[in-house]
């Protein structure tokens, strides 16, 4: 059994220690915002924040996550108020959306440790793959999120996420 904190909630998972954190989050914790991409940690679709660092959850084993603090896209903000989420919408930096959760988490981790990143800082920190090619907008998005975090710009109000009343079968 692995004990860790996910989105500020202590959880216990009864899974083998060699289970990738990605599958523990998706299958056991029902946190499906973290996406499976390459399975080798190269694409960044599965990026989560572990103890403040952006990490690919497909290569991090559950045993390695024991006792650690994990934040998924669902835990970043429940009402889409995080500056990175606001900036992604404002800059229209979302195309198909598959890579978006990983990009958001990588950007949030970068801005948590450096709210004024240079273009070189952003390029070094955001190694995620986006097949739609949002990279020029992504640079503007992270710069804008930094301005919001620093209080130099107001965020945009976003509508609350829709809640479905249709049961999932």
Fold of 2-76: Ubiquitin-like (UB roll) (3.10.20)
Question: Distance between CA atoms of 33 and 7, rounded to whole angstroms?
Answer: 13
Q: How far apart are CA 99 and CA 101, in angstroms?
A: 6
This prediction's pTM? 0.91
The full set of domain ranges for the chain reads 2-76, 83-149
Give the residue ranges of DSSP H helices in 115-164: 119-125, 135-149
User: Digits of tens for pLDDT over the chain (169 positions)?
Assistant: 899 999 999 999 999 999 999 999 999 999 999 999 999 999 999 999 999 999 999 999 999 999 999 999 999 998 889 999 999 999 999 989 899 999 999 999 999 999 999 999 999 999 999 999 898 999 999 999 999 999 999 887 766 666 655 554 4
State the CATH class of domain 83-149: mainly alpha
Q: Identify the DSSP state of 25.
A: I
* Cβ neighbours, 10 Å, residue 9: 9
């Amino acid at each position: 059994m692995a004990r860790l904190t996910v989105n500020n909630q202590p959880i216990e998972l009864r899974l083998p220690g060699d289970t990738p954190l990605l599958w523990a989050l998706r299958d056991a914790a029902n946190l499906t915002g973290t996406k499976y991409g390459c399975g080798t940690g190269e694409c960044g679709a599965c990026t989560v924040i572990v103890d403040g660092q952006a990490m690919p959850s497909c290569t991090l084993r559950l045993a390695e996550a024991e006792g650690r603090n994990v934040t998924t896209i669902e835990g970043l903000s429940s009402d889409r108020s995080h500056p990175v989420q606001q900036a992604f919408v404002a800059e229209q930096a979302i195309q198909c959306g598959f890579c978006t959760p990983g990009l958001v988490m990588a950007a949030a981790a970068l801005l948590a440790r450096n709210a004024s990143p240079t273009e070189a800082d952003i390029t070094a920190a955001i190694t995620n793959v986006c097949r739609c090619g949002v990279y020029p907008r992504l640079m503007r998005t992270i710069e804008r999120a930094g301005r919001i975090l620093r209080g130099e710009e107001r965020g945009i109000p976003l509508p609350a996420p829709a809640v479905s009343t249709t049961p999932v079968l």
